[in-house]
């Protein structure tokens, strides 16, 4: 179970910058395994088959269980993959793969210019990334009277609960999902609110739920 949630990207992102006539296209994708990261790298090569270089980097996991990789893909040693990886690691993201695709524009950038260009490309695509956290969650079902519906909604929102489903028949049925760290406090206040009349039913426990961050 992940006790210290880390940030992950919620969706792919892509941007482009031009440096002295060379085009640098930075493509980023969530990747939860080395296989997913390599498949993403392959897809970028297929999308831009005529590019001069495809510089890959990825960070899988986080903290003590992290796997990292980078390659210069034909650029001078240490000028592409390492600076790209350094920026990605510095972002705090885990489970992310980036490929910086270069179309050479005819002007040599030099060692310092390449380091800056590849690092800047990753910085720019990171600005577009929507972040999420991967956390343990529990999904519960509640059946409650209409008179308590709005109060329970407010209580769930105060504990960062997600309302997944609702059904309005003789009573109201709610399906709610909480981070495990918030669940006990919600249940205690729910018990107080309903004088113990609302009995939650645990429907699912997921140790790795992806929660978007606003």
Domain residue extents for the chain: 7-129, 134-212
Contacts of 49 (CB under 8 A, 6+ apart): none
**pLDDT (0 to 100) of residue 134:** 82
Alpha-carbon distance of 174 to 23, in angstroms, equals: 51
Q: What is the pLDDT of residue 213?
A: 78
Q: Is 106 left (phi over 0), alpha (psi -120 to 50) or beta?
A: left
Whether the CB-CB separation of 26 and 14 falls below 8 Å is answered with yes
pLDDT of residue 156: 96
Q: Which CATH class, in words, describes the domain spanning 7-129?
A: alpha beta
Supply the pLDDT for residue 208: 81
Beta bridge partners of 144: 172
Answer for the pair 173, 166: CB distance below 8 angstroms, yes or no: yes
Q: pLDDT by residue (tens digit) across 110-124?
A: 999 999 999 999 999
Asked whether 139 and 206 are in contact (CB, 8 A), the reply is: yes
- One pLDDT digit (tens) per residue for the chain, 214 residues: 445 668 999 999 999 999 998 999 999 999 999 999 999 999 999 999 999 999 999 999 877 789 999 999 999 999 999 999 999 999 989 999 999 999 998 888 999 999 999 999 999 999 999 999 888 899 999 999 999 999 999 999 999 999 999 999 999 999 999 999 999 999 999 999 999 999 999 999 998 888 777 6
Q: What is the dihedral of CA 100, 105, 109, 111, to 10 degrees?
A: 40
Find the radius of gyration of the CA atoms of the chain. 23
Q: What is the dihedral of CA 7, 12, 17, 23, to 10 degrees?
A: 130
Neighbours of 104 (CB within 10 A): 13
Task: Classify 62 as helix, strand or coil.
Answer: coil
Output the pTM of the full model.
0.75
* Share above pLDDT 90 across residues of the chain, in percent, rounded to a whole number: 84
Does domain 134-212 sit in CATH 3.60.20.10?
A: no
Predicted local distance difference test score (pLDDT) of residue 2? 43
7-129 and 134-212 agree in CATH topology: no
């Amino acid at each position: 179970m992940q006790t210290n949630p880390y940030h992950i990207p919620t969706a792919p992102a892509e941007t482009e910058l031009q440096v002295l006539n060379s085009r640098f296209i930075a493509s980023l994708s969530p990747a939860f395994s080395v296989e997913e990261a390599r498949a993403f790298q392959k897809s970028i090569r297929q999308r831009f088959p005529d590019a001069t270089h495809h510089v890959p980097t990825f960070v899988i996991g986080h903290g003590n269980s992290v796997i990292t990789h980078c390659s210069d893909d034909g650029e001078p040693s240490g000028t592409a993959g390492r600076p790209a990886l350094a920026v990605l690691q510095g972002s705090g993201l885990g489970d992310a793969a980036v490929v910086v695709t270069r179309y050479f524009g005819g002007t040599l950038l030099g060692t310092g210019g390449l380091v800056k260009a590849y690092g800047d490309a990753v910085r720019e695509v990171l600005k577009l990334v929507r972040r999420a956290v991967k956390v343990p969650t529990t999904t519960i079902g509640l059946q409650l009277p209409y008179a308590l519906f709005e109060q329970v909604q407010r209580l769930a929102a105060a504990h960062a609960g997600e309302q997944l489903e609702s059904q309005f028949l003789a009573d109201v049925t709610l399906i709610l999902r909480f981070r495990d760290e918030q669940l006990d406090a919600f249940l205690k206040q729910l018990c107080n609110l309903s004088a113990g009349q609302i009995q939650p039913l645990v429907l699912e426990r997921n140790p790795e739920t992806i929660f978007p961050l606003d």
